[in-house]
Amino acid sequence: MNFSPLHILKDLRRRDHKPALGGLEILKYIGPGLLVTVGFIDPGNWASNLAAGADYGYELLWMVTLSTIMLIVLQHNVAHLGIATGLCLSEAATMHMPRWVSRSVLSSAIVASVSTSLAELLGGAIALQMLFNIPIRIGAIITLITIIILLFSNSYRKLEKWIIGFVSLIGLSFIYELTLADISWSQAVIGWIKPTFPEGSMIVIMSVLGAVVMPHNLFLHSEIIQSRQWNLTDEKIKSRQLRYEFLDTLFSMIVGWAINSAMILMAAATFFRHKIPVDELQQAKNMLVPLLGNNAAVIFAVALLMAGIASTITSAMAGGSIFAGFFGEPFDMKDNHSKLGVLISLIPAVIVIFVISNPFKGLIYSQMLLSIQLPITIFTQIYLTSSRKVMSKYANSIPLTGFLLLIGAVVTFLNIRLLISFL
């Protein structure tokens, strides 16, 4: 059995038909991957990356690299499910798994969606506090109302490209700022490739993993990849969709890796080097001062607000997709099940915000909770995409299944390490 990276890459891109890659044609398929990318440069990621860089310098960069490799394989694989079957992950679980198993899996995924929404709403609330001195709890309610209006009116589609573009530009400003900061690139290279577990770091490690490889994004990607409504009976169209989807996913995930790495690098150069403790997300504005000057706080807050709005939209859509899957239905905001799923994802998150006393720790722990649920979603996905009954000739090959199982095993191992660190 060959598990070499080249073999896995070839297997990921295995197709019955390989059309020519025209530049303009590729652009038609770019989009779903970028929506997923917005999900992992969200406020939860900002908090996790800030904690990783400020507390441990360059030592946890390897977790961004490992998480992104996992993410590329997992997101492509779950998009493969959506393209090959016309079903999202939640629909496929309900249709092809025993009822008690699928219900258990989807229930845990709903909890993960709530945890994600908690981080996104908190990010928006913190941004409103920075901009207008609005209390966190009131800001969370304002953000919630905004998201519900955007989703239930479907007007978010008009704002979607602008939000993604704006958040991406601010994220890329972190990368540009690397040219201005005093980064130890030799330590960074070592940090990217050498796994280390500094004392007391497991919570941050797991929060970085949960912030990058997010369960709700796996459900969401399998849903939104179907938005173009192609002809599932035409094998040439399927093959073209599969091929271009991989390029969309690969490009989008690499962009996310660069932005997340840049955040950790800047936190290491700004806070870790000067031994400045970090206990609130608002401190991250100090990383932008060399690039944006005294306006850094405003620019950072506006970017955080846009990130919070964009990622809460995708989190709520995922919650709607997961809940609709209980009934074997696709996500549709005109359907009551999807609407209820959106509310289930958002309302409990706001309630938790009213209970917690430390918003920054709330962000960190919310991302850690995602990583704990992640193995459940991963092994469910592997079962479905490896089944010929579900996927027909598009089922995973044995090497790809082995590689996916290895990813699941690594995530499970890290969860065990987390549990041990608490004992």
pLDDT tens digits, 36-83? 777 667 777 777 888 899 899 999 999 999 888 988 899 889 888 888
Q: What sign results for the dihedral spanned by CA atoms 383, 97, 413, 211?
A: positive
Residue 94 — very low, low, confident or very high, per pLDDT cuts 50/70/90? very high
CB of 318 closer than 8 Å to CB of 305: no
Determine the Cα–Cα distance for residues 112 and 106; give it in Å rounded to an integer: 10
DSSP secondary-structure letter at 271? I
Give me the pLDDT at residue 184, please.
87
Lowest mean pLDDT among 11-20, 53-62, 148-157, 322-331: 11-20
- Mark residue 110 as left, alpha or beta (left: phi above 0; alpha: psi -120 to 50; beta: remaining): alpha
At residue 290, the pLDDT reads 65
| The pLDDT value given to residue 1 | 46
Only one residue has tokens 């530049």, namely: 23
Instruction: Label residues 392-409 b or e (16+ Cβ within 10 Å = b).
Output: eebbbbebbbebbeebbe
Asked if residues 335 and 324 have their Cβ atoms less than 8 Å apart, the reply is yes
Could you write out the DSSP letters of every residue in 19-84? ----HHHHHTT-SHHHHHHHHTSSHHHHHHHHHHHHHHTTTTHHHHHHHHHHHHHHHHHHHHHHHH
The pLDDT-based confidence of 27 (bands split at 50, 70, 90) is very low
Percent helix, percent strand, percent coil in the chain, to nearest 5: 80, 0, 20
Summarize the confidence of residues 243-253 as an average pLDDT. 77
| pLDDT of 16 strictly over 50 | no
| Percentage of residues in the chain having pLDDT higher than 90 | 22
State the pLDDT at residue 294: 67
Give me the count of residues in the chain. 423
Q: Select the more confidently predicted residue: 39 or 101.
A: 101
In this prediction, residues 334-339 reach a mean pLDDT of 88
pLDDT higher than 50, residue 122: yes
Neighbours of 207 (CB within 10 A): 29
Looking at 126-135, 233-242, 411-420, which range is the least confident one?
Answer: 233-242
Asked if residue 26 has pLDDT above 70, the reply is: no
Which residue type does 228 have?
R
Q: What is the pLDDT of residues 191-218, one digit of tens each?
A: 999 988 888 888 888 778 766 777 888 8
Which whole number is the average pLDDT over 277-293?
Answer: 69
pLDDT (tens digit per residue) in 359-369: 777 777 776 77
Range in 99-108, 179-188, 272-281, 293-302 the model is least confident about: 293-302
Q: What is the pLDDT of residue 372?
A: 80
pTM above 0.75, yes or no: yes
Question: 200, 256, 258: which is closest to 55 by C-alpha?
Answer: 200
Reply yes or no on whether the pLDDT at 25 is more than 60: no
Q: How many CB atoms lie within 10 A of CB 152?
A: 14
List the chain domain ranges.
33-422
In this predicted structure, what is the pLDDT of residue 22? 47
Dihedral pair phi/psi, residue 193, rounded to 5°: -115, -10
**Which residues 6+ apart lie within 8 Å of 370 measured at CB?**
112, 115, 116, 210, 211, 214, 215, 216
Residue 107 has pLDDT above 60, yes or no: yes
Residue 30 clears pLDDT 60, i.e. is over it: no
Q: What is the model's pLDDT at position 59?
A: 93
User: Which has more confidence, 17 or 318?
Assistant: 318
pLDDT at 29: 52
Range 336-344 average pLDDT: 92
Mean pLDDT of 326-336: 85
In CATH, which superfamily holds the domain spanning 33-422? Amino acid/polyamine transporter I (1.20.1740.10)
| Phi, psi for residue 160 in degrees, rounded to 5 | -55, -50
What is the rounded CA–CA span in Å between residue 333 and residue 320?
Answer: 8
pLDDT of 302-328, one tens digit each?
878 887 888 888 889 889 999 998 888
Q: Which of 24-33, 66-75, 329-338 has the lowest mean pLDDT?
A: 24-33
Task: Round the CA-based radius of gyration of the chain to a whole number and report it.
Answer: 20
Q: One-letter amino acid identity for 264? A: I
pLDDT: is 174 or 26 the higher one? 174
Least confident of 121-130, 277-286, 322-331: 277-286
